[in-house]
Structure 1
Amino acid sequence: MNPKTVFIIIISVLITIVLMKNTDEMQFWFFGETTIPKLGVLGIMFLTGAVIGFMLGRPKKPTILNNVDFEKEISTDKPLTQYLTDEDRDYIN
């Protein structure tokens, strides 16, 4: 079994155990006092952390560092062979 799969299974089991052991209710203030189960608070905090971790951990989109038009860079007045090394010219001929 893949180590990543084993890690995910262990973490899932631990999270389930913690959530199931904390089912009693607690006082919670969110712009007003309310009584909610610890299970709900822990579950919401876990999901919030997972979403933020996913958003921060995903790969960034590649950016174009240099967008140069090479046809404008090389003037067509001179022969293109001037840009070749001697070794390249020998290979072509």
Structure 2
Amino acid sequence: MSFKTIIIVIISVLVTLVLMNNTDEVDFWLFGDARIPKLAILGSMFGLGLIVGFILGRPKKKVVEETYDDNQNDIKIIRDNNHNDLSDEDREYIR
């Protein structure tokens, strides 16, 4: 088993133990009093934490900036000048 799998199993067991030992009902205020099992509150908060952690843990998208290279003609001139400096053997190799 890999390290990641072992950690996932340990966390799953711990979450299950905590949820199963907190099944009694509590008064919960959500725009009004309600008696809700601790299991539902803890489970929903754990699920919400997983979702938020997944969203915040994703790699960010890279932004590609488009730029205009004004030196494009200069590069062509440099290539043409370098072409004259090549030997016949080098020209054959490039082709």
Task: Tell me the matched-pair count.
Answer: 87
Q: Distance in 2 between matches of 1:52 and 1:7?
A: 19
Corresponding residue number in structure 2 for 1:55: 55
- State the TM-score, normalized to the length of structure 2: 0.76
Q: Over residues 1-42 of structure 1, what are the superposed CA-to-partner deviations in whole Å (9 max), with x where a residue is unaligned? A: 100000000000000000000000000001100001000000
Look up the equivalent residue of 1:79 and give its one-letter code: I
How has the CA–CA distance of structure 1 residues 79 and 55 changed in structure 2, closer, same or farther, with 3 Å as cutoff?
A: same
Which residues in structure 2 correspond to 1:1-93 (within 5 Å)?
Answer: 1-65=1-65, 67-70=66-69, 72-75=70-73, 79-81=77-79, 92=90
Q: CA deviation at 1:74?
A: 1.2
Higher-Rg structure is 2
Stretches of structure 2 that go unaligned for 5 or more consecutive residues are none
Look up the equivalent residue of 1:24 and give its one-letter code: D
- State the TM-score, normalized to the length of structure 1: 0.78
- Give the percent of matched residue pairs that are identical in Structure 1 and Structure 2: 46
Q: Distance in 1 between matches of 2:55 and 2:47?
A: 12
Stretches of structure 1 that go unaligned for 5 or more consecutive residues are none
Which structure dedicates a bigger proportion of its chain to helix? Answer: 2
Q: CA deviation at 1:82?
A: 6.7
Runs of 4+ in structure 1 deviating by more than 4 angstroms, as ranges, are: none
